[in-house]
Amino acid sequence: MKDIVPDTLPLRPPGEVMRLARMGAMMPTRLSFLRVLVRRLCAERAVITRVHWDMTPDGYGRAVYSVDLGGHTYSLVAISNDLPTDQRSDRVIATAWDAAFVLYDGTPNVSEIKRIAAQAPLQEAGRFGPRDLVLSRANKSVRMWDATVGALRAGNQPDAAMIRDIGYLMRTTAVYGNGKFGIADRHLIEDRPGLSGAFAAEMLAVYLIRHFTLDLVEHVAGAPLDTRLARHFGVGNATGLGMAPFLVTHPVLFNNWMLARETAFARVRALDHLSAARRARIESLADRAGQHIAEWHVPAADHDATLRDLEREWAAFRPQFDALTDAQPIDALWRAAQRQSVALQELLIALLIEAFPDEVDGLADCMGDPFGALTTPFSGTDALGRAIDTDWQWALEQDYADADACRRFWYVSEAKLEPRLGDRFAESGAELETPLMLRAGSWHCAQVCPRRIALFPRSLPIIPNMPTQSPAWRHWRVTPTPKSATT
C-alpha cells in the first residue's frame, strides 16, 4: 500500500453524474463489491472446501461449503429441492424454489445443518438466528440446466453461444442480509476483515452459490464441465427491486460509493504520461471491451438495439486510443469521448479504472459509512429555500402537478415485506406510499416554502420544529389534478 495520495483532477459535477440515464449506463469496475471481495479472497489464498455432500443422483439434498476469510470461517449451507414445474416461479409471491441457502458464521455441525435444512426452504416463514448471516433462494434456468446436463451425459460440452446468451444455471430471487427475518444484524460482522465492505457477506454467499451450481450440474450429469466454459457461468438475479428504496434511505453510503468511483477516475485522468506497459494494458482492455459488447445480446429488442449501437460506436472510437502517447493521455481520451454517447463514456470510464490498480484499489476502503448521516439543520426556511435553489435545481425541472410525472409510487408488500412499485392511477394503495420521492418532495417544498416562512419563527431550527408544528410536512404526498390523471 502506497502512502502517497495520487494527484486528481476535479471530479465530475453531481448534476452530470447522478442522472438515471447515466447511472443506468455505468459498468462494473474494480471497485464493485464482488470484485473487491474476490481480490481479498485471492490475496489470502482462500480455498473453498466442500465439507458436506448428501445428494441424490438427481441432485436433491444438502451440501456445505466452507471458506476462511479474514480470520473467520464462513459456510454456505445449500438445500436442493425437487420442485414441481407448476410451483416454479421467480415472482416474489412464490413459496417454493429449486434451492435455498444460508451463509453461516462458522462451520455448522450436523444438528445445525438439519435445522437450516428445515428452515431455509421456508425463507420468510422460517426461523433463523444470529449465526445465519445471509438467507437466499434460487431457481434453475431450466433450459440452460437441461441443455448442460444433456450435453455432458452425451459426452459433449454445452453450447458456448447458449451459455453466452443465458449466462447462468441458477438465478437468485432474493438475497437477504442485515438482520432481515431474524438473521444476524449487520453490526455483528461489520468490523470483521473481509466483510466490512458494503454487501460483502451477500457477495460471499452468491459467490459460493455459483460454486455450488457448477458442482451440482456436474454431479447430476456425471461428467465435468470444461473449465473455459465454466468461467462463463454466473448467477442470475431475477429482480433487485429492493435496492432502490435502500439507496434513498442510505444517502451517505450511496454518496461514498459514487465518490470513490469518481475519485478513481479523477486520479486516472490526472496521470501525466503512461509507460509502454500501461499503454499496452489499456489497448488490450479496449479490444476486450469491443469483443464483450459484440458477444452481449439480450432478448429485448430495444435494449439489444442499444447494444448494437454501442458496438458500432466503440469500433469507430477505437482509433482514439492511438493518442495514449500524448501528455495527459487519459484526460485527452476522455475529452475526445465527450462527443460520444453516455453509454460509450461510461464504458470508457470502467475500462480506464480497470487499468490502474495502484491508484484505485485503496479507495475500496472508503466506501463504507461508519457514522451515518452527519447533517447540520437549516437555520430557517430562508436557508432551506436557498439550498434548494442552489443545489437542487435538478429536482425543480419537472412539474409534479402533472400526473404522468408522479404516476409511480413505492409501497411495502404486507404479505412479503418487500418494496414494490405501483401505479397510483391504476391500482389502489397509494395512501400507503413509502416516502421515497425525494425529487418530487423537493419540488413541492420549493413551491410552497416561500408562502410558509411566516409560520415559523426565524430563530427556531427548521428540521426539529417544522415537522412538529406541521406534521403534513414530514412527507410530501402526490395530489395531481384529476384531469391530468391519464392512464
Give exposure, 130-165, as e/b (b: 16+ Cβ within 10 Å): ebbbbbbbbbbbeebbebbbebbeeeebbeeeebee
Give exposure, 245-275, as e/b (b: 16+ Cβ within 10 Å): beeeebeebbebbbbbbbbbbbbbbbbeebe
- Going by pLDDT thresholds of 50, 70 and 90, the confidence category of residue 482 is very low
pLDDT number for residue 437: 66
Q: Which residue has the higher pLDDT, 399 or 92?
A: 399
Mean pLDDT, to the nearest integer, of 454-472?
A: 53
pLDDT in tens, 127-152: 999 999 999 999 999 999 999 999 99
Neighbours of 43 (CB within 10 A): 9
- Going by pLDDT thresholds of 50, 70 and 90, the confidence category of residue 460 is very low
pLDDT in tens, 193-250: 999 888 999 999 999 999 999 999 999 999 999 999 999 999 988 667 777 778 888 8
As a dihedral over the C-alpha atoms of residue 184, residue 187, residue 190, residue 192, rounded to 10 degrees, the angle is -80
Least-confidence region, from 46-50, 165-169, 178-182, 464-468: 464-468
Q: How far apart are CA 326 and CA 328, in angstroms?
A: 6
